Amino acid sequence: MKFNETTIRILVRKNYGECYDFYTEKIGLIPVWGDRNGPYTSFAVSSDTPPCFAIFSGEAMSMFQGYTQPETTNQPDTVAAIIPTLDLDGDYQRLKAAGVPFLGEPQFIEDWGMRCTYFRDPEGNLFELNDASGI
């Protein structure tokens, strides 16, 4: 198993185009395969780096025999994607100005020994932006 080569993939259950726009226009990722119409798009942080993130239409998961979509209308917080940054405050301000909906301002969590903040994508998926500067 090559866990160190893991790519985050979000299953889009609502509006594929809205998620595509969120990751390209607000987060700033570059699509390297696929497009706004789906059902799959992989993204990189720049044109000279490998893909690190992808979105996939939840409806297309039916191609995998045995998969069924969970019966829920609420997104349960069972997984959070962690994004380290060397400039937590700067990235927070940039993303907030782009319209990313944060749950709160960056804060130091004593019990965790770090500063972080959280945001959600249009599907309700939870992301943590945390301070990797070591300060």
Residue at token pair 């997984």: 79
Q: What single-letter DSSP state applies at residue 61?
A: G
pLDDT number for residue 111: 86
Distance between CA atoms of residues 83 and 16, nearest Å: 22
- Cis bond before residue 39 (omega within 30° of 0): yes
pLDDT number for residue 38: 92
Q: What single-letter DSSP state applies at residue 16?
A: H
Q: What single-letter DSSP state applies at residue 77?
A: -
pLDDT number for residue 67: 73
Residue at token pair 């990313």: 100
Q: What is the mean pLDDT of each run of 10 residues along the chain (135 residues)?
A: 75 91 96 94 93 89 75 71 93 97 92 90 90 81
Backbone angles phi, psi at 93, to 5 degrees: -65, -45
**Domains of the chain: residue spans and CATH:** 3-63 (3.30.720), 80-131 (3.30.720.110)
In whole angstroms, how far apart are CA 105 and each of 2, 7, 120?
34, 27, 14
Helix (H, G, I), strand (E, B) or coil at 102: strand
pLDDT number for residue 132: 87
pLDDT number for residue 68: 74
